[in-house]
């Protein structure tokens, strides 16, 4: 019985802290999010971007196969 009570102590501590409004690990999550979040660029940096090359709209995957079949004539009958 003592082992079960000993195993429940961490759970009870966590539930108690959540009920009191304290969220364990919250500050660590905020610090991690601030480190990972992309930095905002100023307007001057945005205006100096290099122009992108135009995007290619070539067919890929199944659409490529469909275009290939659509442009090919049917096989000749023997």
Model confidence, pTM: 0.38
Q: Is residue 68 part of a domain?
A: no
Q: Is residue 27 part of a domain?
A: yes
Structural domain including 23 reads: 1-38
Q: Is residue 24 part of a domain?
A: yes
Q: Is residue 30 part of a domain?
A: yes
The tally of domains found in the chain comes to 1
pLDDT tens, 11-41? 999 999 999 988 888 999 888 888 888 777 6
Name the one residue in this structure whose structure tokens are 């969220």. Answer: 23
Q: Is residue 22 part of a domain?
A: yes
pLDDT tens, 36-64? 887 776 666 566 777 787 777 776 788 77
């Amino acid at each position: 019985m003592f082992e079960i009570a000993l195993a429940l102590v961490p759970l009870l501590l966590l539930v108690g802290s959540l009920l009191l409004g304290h969220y364990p690990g919250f500050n660590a999550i905020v610090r991690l999010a601030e480190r990972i979040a992309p930095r905002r660029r100023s307007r001057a940096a945005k205006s100096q971007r290099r122009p992108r090359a135009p995007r290619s709209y070539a067919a890929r995957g199944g659409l490529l196969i469909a275009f290939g079949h659509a442009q090919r004539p049917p096989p000749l009958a023997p």
